[in-house]
Structure 1
Amino acid sequence: MAGIFDQITGQPGGDSQSDQKELDEHLDELSNTDSQLSVDQTIEGAARTDKRLREAAQELLRYGLLEESQKPNLYRVSISQLELLNGVLEPFDFSAQVDEIRGLIFLVVKKPDDSAEFDEWSHPLVRKQRLTLEQSLLVAILRQYFIVYEQEAGTGASQAVVAVDELIPQLQVYLGDTGSEAKERNRMLQLLDQLKGHGLVSAPDTHDRITIRPMIAHLANPENLEVLLQWMHTRVKGSDDPQDKNEGDA
């Protein structure tokens, strides 16, 4: 049988037709392998989204929001490439909504075109859970503080700070007093920690103060929060009314 040099040069040394066929098959195999590698490399290169844009999309999917004060580089990337960012989010039925005044980008669930009834909480990738009554009350209270702060400092100001001890009596108005300062404080700290996971407040600082984040302006419908507070006021007032108590005893 001819060696590889004989096959290339066509010199005798064996079954030339058989050897030539084997050589052609070998060269075809190498050619196909090289072509496939080239195609794979081309596809990989074309399919990759810009790294910073990927990081911005991942941050939004992870936390639901981007704050300019916390992630300035990703925020700038998102603002400058908002259309591309929404293209990345579109297959998940999400879109990025911008509040430039407050330096905030947050996810919203896109309403399906073929759905008359729409519940964003039914989205399979929504990280947030429905707020409990206690959490909703605290959100309503914190939002009032935030509105007052923005009225005084201007929309977009980012240092809406309130002391934990100042919030405790506000919540007691609606939920009552447990009779233990330690329990009241522990309840408040637990609620604040839960709201921190929603991007609404910061962790308490060394002076036991928390910063109210601008996301609180978008999390819940303000009319719904006001109705909740009015309803709770009515319940508290009714429970303190002696006439209502006498009617209840009767």
Structure 2
Amino acid sequence: MAGIFDRMSGATGADTEGLAQASAPDGNLPDEPAALSVADERSTPKRVREAVQEMLKYGLLEESHKPNLYRSALSHAEEVANILEPLDLAMGVDEVRGLVFITVRQDDLAEQDEWSHPLVRRQRLSLEQSLLIAVLRQQFIAYEQESGTGASQALVAVDELIPQLQVYLGELGSEAKERNRVITLLDQLKGHGLVSALDAHDRVVIRPIITHLANPENLQALVVWLREQTKGAAAPEGEEDMA
């Protein structure tokens, strides 16, 4: 005769089996919870996350350096835009030069100053850095006019940049100091992804993103302003010579 405990355990087993069959019509339990499947469907693809993280870290993605992430950003442009939108950022695209890059999102309903954006303000450039960017941008545009848009080996030597900076910043009194000034500025711009590291011949490659870093009218205005300051500083000396 079955005891009371046998009858209770038998009933519990039958009830459990019945519940399992009721929850799974085919009698098989699901391999994973449905909630996890829904979460997986809603999550951002890994390659898109990696692409956005790379863009936020360096400000851009270059097809020549990160081809897989570059293609992921282009093919998932809407997802990238949705990630950047809460930060008031957007993705700029330059397929001719193989670039995708971070820009400050402009609101059509209100005028915004992109320089007031926290990420831009944190990376504000000095006067000397801005001047060198203007010089390098001119060099890069001239290179593209000669070699074609999309060419990516715009080389410039330290010795070529020294006299161009001297025109606006003056001379430091020794060749060693002049070279050190240019090399220091180039190293700072390398951190912004604008130039490569110096090679064995003291040359750098100007990166294509320089065409999108700043408004060319602003850079030209900077050069004009510096030229006027230089002329103003030289005028008293000229008057003394005439006297």
What's the TM-score bracket when you normalise by the shorter of the two chains? 0.7 to 0.9
Distance (whole Å) between structure 1 residues aligned to residue 41 and residue 128 of structure 2 = 49
1:108: how far off? 1.0
8 A Cα contact 1:239 1:245, kept in partner:
no
Equivalence for 1:50: 45
1:64 to 59, 64, 73: 59
**What is the one-letter code of the residue matched to 1:147?**
I
TM-score by length of 1: 0.80
1:188: how far off? 1.0
Question: Structure 1 residues 121, 239: CA separation in 2 closer, same or farther (over 3 Å shift)?
Answer: closer
Question: Mind listing any 5+ residue stretches in structure 2 that lack a counterpart?
Answer: 24-28
1:120: how far off? 2.1
1:81-230 → structure 2 map (5 Å cutoff)? 81-112=76-107, 116-126=110-120, 129-230=123-224
**What is the one-letter code of the residue matched to 1:61?**
L
8 A Cα contact 1:238 1:244, kept in partner:
no
Q: Deviations over 1:37-81 (max 9, x none)?
A: 825423431232111111111111111101111111111122222
Distance (whole Å) between structure 2 residues aligned to residue 227 and residue 127 of structure 1 = 20
Distance (whole Å) between structure 2 residues aligned to residue 243 and residue 172 of structure 1 = 18
Distance (whole Å) between structure 2 residues aligned to residue 53 and residue 127 of structure 1 = 26
1:191: how far off? 0.8
**What is the one-letter code of the residue matched to 2:10?**
T
- What is the DSSP-based 3-state SS (H/G/I as helix, E as strand, rest coil) of the residue aligned with 1:185? helix
- What is the DSSP-based 3-state SS (H/G/I as helix, E as strand, rest coil) of the residue aligned with 2:118? coil
Question: Structure 1 residues 195, 9: CA separation in 2 closer, same or farther (over 3 Å shift)?
Answer: same
Distance (whole Å) between structure 1 residues aligned to residue 65 and residue 4 of structure 2 = 72
Distance (whole Å) between structure 1 residues aligned to residue 74 and residue 92 of structure 2 = 10
1:135: how far off? 0.6
**What is the one-letter code of the residue matched to 1:77?**
S
Equivalence for 1:17: none
1:12-51 → structure 2 map (5 Å cutoff)? 38-51=33-46
Question: Structure 1 residues 44, 173: CA separation in 2 closer, same or farther (over 3 Å shift)?
Answer: same
Distance (whole Å) between structure 1 residues aligned to residue 88 and residue 236 of structure 2 = 53
Q: Deviations over 1:78-105 (max 9, x none)?
A: 2222222222222222211101111111
Distance (whole Å) between structure 2 residues aligned to residue 43 and residue 183 of structure 1 = 62
**What is the one-letter code of the residue matched to 2:234?**
D
**What is the one-letter code of the residue matched to 1:102?**
R
Question: Structure 1 residues 87, 2: CA separation in 2 closer, same or farther (over 3 Å shift)?
Answer: farther
Equivalence for 2:8: 7
Question: Mind listing any 5+ residue stretches in structure 1 that lack a counterpart?
Answer: 11-19
Between the aligned residues of both structures, percent identity stands at 60
Number of residue pairs matched by the alignment: 226
**What is the one-letter code of the residue matched to 1:177?**
E
1:230: how far off? 1.3
Distance (whole Å) between structure 2 residues aligned to residue 157 and residue 100 of structure 1 = 12
TM-score by length of 2: 0.82
**What is the one-letter code of the residue matched to 1:133?**
L
- The runs of at least 4 consecutive aligned structure 1 residues that moved more than 6 Å come to none
- What is the DSSP-based 3-state SS (H/G/I as helix, E as strand, rest coil) of the residue aligned with 1:108? strand
Distance (whole Å) between structure 2 residues aligned to residue 96 and residue 196 of structure 1 = 21
Question: Structure 1 residues 101, 39: CA separation in 2 closer, same or farther (over 3 Å shift)?
Answer: same
Q: Cα RMSD (Å) of the superposition? A: 2.7
